[in-house]
Chains A and B, each alone.
Chain A
Amino acid sequence: MTRKLAAEKVSAWYGPKKAIEDISLDFEEHATTAIIGPSGCGKSTLIRCLNRLHETVPKARVEGKVLLDDKDVYADDPVAVRRRVGMVFQKANPFPTMSVYDNVAAALRLNGVRDRGKLDKIVKRSLEQAALWDEVKDYLGKPGVSLSGGQQQRLCIARALAAEPEVLLMDEPCSALDPIATAKIEDLIFDLKKDYTVVIVTHNMQQAARVADTTAFMYLGHLIEVGGTRELFERPRETLTESYITGRFG
């Protein structure tokens, strides 16, 4: 396994408030890494540092390095980084004025692709990858926001995949979904890691156990422990990790 992405001593602030401190974490290629931890522990902040989205928040600041193929993304153009590192958000956020088709095609269109044949091909492929094609193939002209919540989230996954990223960041992608939609997305994550490097933030420990190869546990802005998912859940090294995964958290 090779290292695709790595955080090196990453700290991040919102104004004067430090959200994460000195986090170093490797993400393997073609594997899924889950980041778990209680609310407010900095999981989302960490992955938003990975595609340089954190710095778009007013007064937010990042220190440290994020290496993508061993090159620091903070030495590069943020736009170029975000093309290689896609993201799916906690709440489905399809573009409200765009149809299903246009939502998926957005990444390409907004970056200047006009060839209709190419767009059609990528839209279809992305929707198939996101396990949504069969449900929407006859409604591609309908507004993206008219789909159900679970479908909208898969639409957002398709939109991210259409940009052909190398890494896919998922920030609690199932937190607003019912168990059936969640199961669909988990199956999807399982398939996606064949082609992508997946990083998923989740509240749900069962979910991490189901989809992740590696799991990292964060608490109060610190990385407490990282290891193989099975190992972390069955034989945690840190007492903090153990009390969190056994639900004895104070």
Chain B
Amino acid sequence: MIRFGRDVRRRLKDRVMAVLALACVALALIPLGSIVYTVVVRGASVVNPEFFTQIQPIPCSPGANLTCTQGGIGNAIVGTFLLLGLSSAIAIPLGLLAGIYLAEYGKGPLVFAVRFFADVMTGLPSIVMGLFIFATFQLAFPGFVFSAIAGALALAVIIIPFVARTSEEALRLVPGSIREAALALGVPKYRVTVRVVLSSAREGIVTGALLAMARVGGETAPLLLTAGGNSFYSVRLDQPIAAMSLVIYNFATTPYANWNALAWGAALLLVVIMLGLSIAARFLLRHRFHEQRIRG
């Protein structure tokens, strides 16, 4: 009888905790659901070919006796992709090399210092990174501050420590037995690292890189101080450049209806792109094995 009573109590506790956990999940998902819902509802109406190709329209609000043009954020889309591409091209190789150093080669206090500062850097407010690049450019090249290259560098500085730490973790997850197996075959250490360990960790590394890109893709504060924004199409590295996050920041705070609408559209597109990057991180990297055969 005692045993029976205890069993019932345990089952009851189990149910209560399960329901509680589920409720917490639901609670945590409410903001996410609300954001996605609002962004889709308010942003979807402007997503059409014009939105992707045009630049910003003349600001206007309905009510006056003029017809507003919708315009688009083509220049900002190009700008965001250019900034992302450029910053990734700078930061991912550097971050990966740092991660390889931390996981495979580093010894002693230097490793501790590098890892510590990488952690501190990932925690710094991104505007400080922007300020750092802003100040550096101000001192080094006065009059050349607002430019695509400055924006890309600011994003790169944010990405580097993130990629360094995620790739270090990914490399650490590769079992030591795999390294030993390769070393025991008489393969030099650098080649073991590049051809065996790195390829075993590639999913984690690529996931980390994509997540880093998703993280900086929506950055606004550092770009305010570096990329500067641009109302027109530009792909010149030494000129200010537009970005979707800047469009949202600038247009959302104006009283003009057509600019507000574009800000919602930009928010929707940005969410979709970042979601796409995260999903790509998950699905792109299944191991691919192909047919192999020896005749004879």
Mark A residues whose CB is within 8 Å of B: 51, 53, 56, 58, 79-84, 86-87, 89, 91, 93-97, 99-102, 106-107, 110-111, 120, 123-124, 137-138, 140-143, 156, 159-160, 163
Question: With a CB–CB cut-off of 8 A, which chain B residues contact A143?
Answer: 287, 289
CB distance from B14 to the nearest CB of A (A): 36
Q: Chain B residues near A101: list those with CB within 8 A.
A: 292, 294
Q: A91-B177, A95-B196 are in contact. Are A106 and B294 (CB under 8 A)?
A: no
Stretch of B21-29, B113-121, B137-145, B181-189 at the chain-chain interface: B181-189
* B191 CB, min distance to chain A CBs, angstroms: 6
Chain B, residue nearest A102 (CB): B292
Least Cβ–Cβ distance between A211 and chain B, in angstroms: 21
Count of CB-CB pairs between chains A and B under 8 Å: 94
| Chain B residues whose C-beta falls within 8 Å of the C-beta of A99 in the assembled complex | 289-290, 292
The 10 lowest CB-CB distance pairs between A and B, nearest first, are A83-B186, A141-B292, A82-B186, A87-B184, A93-B177, A107-B185, A140-B292, A101-B292, A110-B187, A93-B181
- Inter-chain CA distance A12–B291, complex, in Å, is 45
Shortest C-beta distance, A164 to chain B (Å), equals 10
Given A96-B200, A141-B290, A141-B293; A156-B182 close (CB under 8 Å)? no
Is B202's beta carbon under 8 Å from chain A? yes
A89 and B177 form a contact (CB under 8 A): yes
A111 and B191 alpha carbons, distance in the complex (Å)? 9
B291 to chain A, nearest CB (A): 5
B178 within 8 A of A: yes
Please tell me if the beta carbons of A93 and B186 are within 8 angstroms of each other in the complex. Answer: no
Contact between B181 and A95, CB atoms less than 8 A apart:
yes
Residue of B175, B191, B195 near A93 (CB, 8 A) is: B175
- Picked from B181, B199, B294, B296, the residue with its CB within 8 Å of the CB of A156 is B181
